[in-house]
Chain A
Amino acid sequence: MELLWMIATVLFLYSSLSFLWKAFDCRRNQNCYLLDYVCYKPSDDRKLSTELCSDVIKRNKRLSMPDYKFLLKVVVNSGISEETYGPRSIIEGREESPTLDDCDDEVDDCMHSTLDELFHRTGISPGDVDVLVVNISMFAPAPSLTSRIVNRYKMREDVKTFNLSGMGCSASPIAIDLVNNVFETRKRTLAVVITSESIAPNWYCGTDKSMMLGNCLFRSGGCSFMLTNDPSLKHRAKMRLKCLVRAHSGANDDAYSCAMQNEDTDGRVGFHLSKSLPKVAVRAFTENLQALAPKVLPVGELALYVIRGLRHRLRRSKETKAYAGTAVRVNFKSGVEHFCLHTGGAAVIDAVGSALGLNKYDVEPARMTLHRWGNTSASSLWYVLGYMEAKKRLRRKDRVLMLSFGAGFKCNSCLWEVLRDLEDGGAWEDSIQAYPPQSLVNPFMDKFGWVNEA
């Protein structure tokens, strides 16, 4: 009897200690801290006003009057201001035949200015960087952009570089996922991620309408941010990564081909956006939310959702007409305070906002980012975050959800926890006072408003 008692005690001690050890082991290197981020602010001579856009469109002699009207209509109604930036090659008239130097210069300008500032602000030297990730979807020269940075900043020989390409507008969470995984295998590691998009080599000079939208909406932008899993740097970090969810609906043919780089009938390469894009986006979005909700929402909200769902189903079976078509909403605001939505376009922001049950205050950062910077592709999430920080909305213990969509079709999201009250102006420093403006309507409505008629 005593023997049995002793064996039971020993087994119990063993299992509890094993469990504690496993839990401790898991937590040791798992935290991913965001030390700082710097959004790219191009020089003022690269601003693309509506007038300038109109001139650029007119330069394409292949376009007919209806095409010109259509494009101008898109630009005028896009919710994009006169302050957004474009690459020099387009402003200087070389949009149809950009040289490799133009592409290199565009990318160098962004990477170098943001990295210089990032290293300066964090006080960390490039020689201390262990992991370097660059994601620029539509430009991948040899040697890679990561090598370009290693060369310029004279990084160490054992730096782990990864050059992600072709991963679309939702590549920021993918880069974070990569770094997070590397962090779990090494201690005290420092990572730098640069996310941007290359516009100069991808200007579409044909007449296919589905490919011209990209020309109107994409603008120059980028961001460099520094991540670490070193607990000794926690006091300097801005945010901590809580979870990350990736959903890829590429298995579905519609989803795969809805946003695709292709040649048109004349052989010109452009970025085709199909009409089924909204439907595909909704499906990918739902998939992502289904995986995200249990990780983000408090238990109470999840329980409420289940109860509401059951009630809804019971009611539906009794009164089919009244409840058909309605869906049970989850209140994401119970688990998240701030929403960084990808600025794919005004329609995208509104649709996502209404699906998540957000009000005007919640979507304001995304709308204002679209207005001030345009669609900067993968880096847009960081401009939205910058707006929130400049408006002093980010307080300690707040949770920030970053949500983006991209070609493939992917919907990626990540949840951050703010570690201290954040107040940097960043790229919004000089313009934040003017936001939100009285009206988002294009100031040239009187001049170009005729495109909306007929």
Chain B
Amino acid sequence: MPRAPLPEFSSSVKLKYVKLGYQYLVNNFVTLLLIPVMAAVYLELVRMGPEEIMGLWRSLRLDLIQILCSFFVIIFAATVYLTSRPQPVYLVDYACFKPPTTCRVPFSTFMEHTRLISSDEKSVRFQMRILERSGLGEETCLPPANHYIPPRPTMEASRAETQLVIFSAIDDLVRKTGLRPKDIDILVVNCSLFSPTPSLSAMIINKYKLRSNVRSFNLSGMGCSAGLISVDLARDLLQVHRSSNALVVSTEIITPNFYAGNQRSMLLPNCLFRMGAAAILLSNRRRDARRAKYRLVHVVRTHKGADDRAYRCVYQEEDAEGHSGISLSKDLMAIAGEALKSNITTIGPLVLPMSEQLLFFLTLVGRKLINPKWKPYIPDFKLAFEHFCIHAGGRAVIDELQKNLELSAEHVEASRMTLHRFGNTSSSSLWYELNYIESKGRMRRGDRVWQIGFGSGFKCNSAVWKCLRTVKTPVDGPWSDCIDRYPVDIPEIVRL
């Protein structure tokens, strides 16, 4: 007969204080150890008296050579240590694209267009059900080409959308930071589903007349988590090239990817993906440290592609009629949860305080050696981070992560509100969420932010930032005109 499971201790109020005490003890262990040592030294000094101390000093018999040599050794060791540390990477500022109101797609417009484009009544009703439960609002935007009935996914229209979203974001960033395009040393662009030749990075180089020795890279096909892949690449480049800056542009171009068929698994992107772009300025220059908003602490990438189920869960394919679209499998949530767990096992030790790591380790040992029925300990990431930016992939993704990480509604508010106001803007969604937190006046100096992105492949990428200066409201950004209306209550189902 199985033993009764351990009672739910965590609900007990008394235990909460025990837990707090334990955390305080473990995290400040070294300091707590030093206090008695310092006290003993002080007491000893007081007991000895001033003459004895001077006598002790003179007896050391230091002569000039020894002083100079030890001085030299200390300075040399300090220089070696400082130069071999990785260079800090600062986020000077970032800008998100604010779509024009003429591109808005309220539910009524979306459904009207869908009814006129699609001949299949069942798929129309399916899309309506998706939209009702999606968590999207009435102000999300689609590019001009998608407003035609049927949409016109030409290459020219795709380029036009690209120019609209990317150039607006970069112009905004230039205005905010005073960045001169000729000063850009590194350029990384990621756009998953539109990759013309010449690349989007070449398009930016052409428009802003960047230098001929700019190091440009154009990443494509890497999914909704590609924004953090670009940041990772920019970080590696900034480690190698001293006194440089990097412009990272993350976007997803919607125009060429309208799915014209009726297969259900492929209709979801039509309902969820919306226009968006973000331009981020990273730097390793010391003078930028003073005005930078954040410092990049960690980037952790996890690729679950070795597992066939994970690889196939977001897959571009053609349906029976030859229409190309992205098919999302039913296991998406489960796979996202597993990918997150793998990512956490790497990032946990880097960010969690010692108290959580110890508890996790002890529970693991206990499960292996004592009783495998012990509940696995989910580390409390709220101790490591003040803010969470979870990719606004869809309502279900946010729900799943909230459950897995045991986050409160306020922690996932940025993600939910971004999904509501802007829809799923793919790799740039993390930046809209960060801007929401700033616009709400919640970002203070010293706060740590965790950005989690998921994408096809299946990848789960994380970035950890530390805030360097309190961000004052009002914040200039895509939320400036509507932040006061947020947060809104998003019902489970919006009846259409």
Contacts and interface: CB of A to CB of B under 8 A. Distances in A.
Is B truly associated with A?
A: yes
B475 to A, nearest CB: 33
Interface stretch (B26-34, B103-111, B209-217, B287-295): B209-217
A271 B197 contact: yes
A172 B425 CA distance: 31
B222 A263 contact: no
Contact of B202 (A263, A269, A408): A408
Interface in B51-84: 64-65, 68-69, 71-72, 75-76, 79-80, 83-84
Contacts of B86: 185
A408 B201 CA distance: 9
Contact of A7 (B68, B237, B302): B68
A157 B347 CA distance: 13
Contact of B72 (A10, A99, A259, A263): A10
B195 A157 contact: no
Nearest to A21: B80
A408 B205 contact: yes
A407 B198 CA distance: 5
Nearest to B322: A99
Interface stretch (A80-88, A173-181, A203-211, A334-342): A173-181
B209 A161 contact: no
Interface string B406-436: 0000000000000000000000000000000
A184 B83 CA distance: 14
A454 interface: no
A374 to B, nearest CB: 18
Main secondary structure on chain A at its contact with chain B?
A: mixed
Contacts of A160: 232, 301
B326 interface: yes
Interface stretch (B17-25, B304-312, B390-398, B442-450): B304-312
Contacts of A150: 303, 305-306, 311, 457
Interface string A355-390: 000000000000000000000000000000000000
Contacts, number: 216
Contacts of A251: 205-206, 209-212
Interface stretch (A43-51, A163-171, A319-327): A163-171
A330 B22 CA distance: 73
A261 B76 contact: no
Given A14-B72, A147-B305, A163 B206 contact: no
Given A10-B72, A158-B302, A260-B198, A142 B318 contact: no
B156 interface: yes
B482 interface: no
A208 to B, nearest CB: 14
A323 B484 CA distance: 73
Contacts of A177: 215
Contacts of A453: none
B316 interface: yes
A146 B232 CA distance: 16
A62 interface: no
Interface in B202-258: 202-203, 205-206, 209-223, 229, 232-233, 236-237, 239-240
Contacts of B212: 247-249, 251, 287
B331 to A, nearest CB: 15
B220 A163 contact: yes
A303 interface: no
Contacts of B75: 14
A414 B428 CA distance: 34
A454 to B, nearest CB: 35
A291 B213 contact: yes
A161 B220 CA distance: 11
Nearest to A255: B206
B154 interface: yes
Contact of A261 (B196, B223, B301, B305): B196
A154 interface: yes
Interface in A73-113: 99-101
Given A248-B214, A262-B155, A164 B205 contact: no
- Kindly name the residue among B198, B201, B214, B317 whose own CB sees the greatest number of chain A CB atoms within 10 A: B198
A181 B311 CA distance: 28
B169 interface: no
Contacts of B210: 248, 250-251
B303 A161 contact: yes
A252 B212 CA distance: 10
A140 interface: yes
B69 A166 contact: no
Contacts of A7: 68
B294 to A, nearest CB: 20
A6 B240 contact: no
B341 to A, nearest CB: 11
Contact of B64 (A6, A148, A157): A6
Interface string A220-231: 000000000000
B314 interface: yes
A390 B4 CA distance: 73
**Chain A CB within 10 A, most for which of B71, B79, B214, B305:** B305
Interface of A: 3, 6-7, 10, 13-14, 17-18, 21-22, 25, 99-101, 137-138, 140-148, 150-151, 154-168, 174, 177-178, 181-182, 184-185, 246-253, 256, 259-263, 267, 269, 271, 287, 291, 407-410
16 contacts: A138-B195, A142-B192, A143-B311, A143-B456, A147-B311, A164-B219, A165-B195, A165-B221, A167-B218, A185-B86, A248-B216, A250-B198, A261-B155, A261-B197, A262-B156, A269-B155
* 9 A-B pairs with least C-beta separation: A166-B199, A144-B221, A150-B305, A165-B220, A250-B205, A147-B457, A256-B206, A140-B220, A140-B221
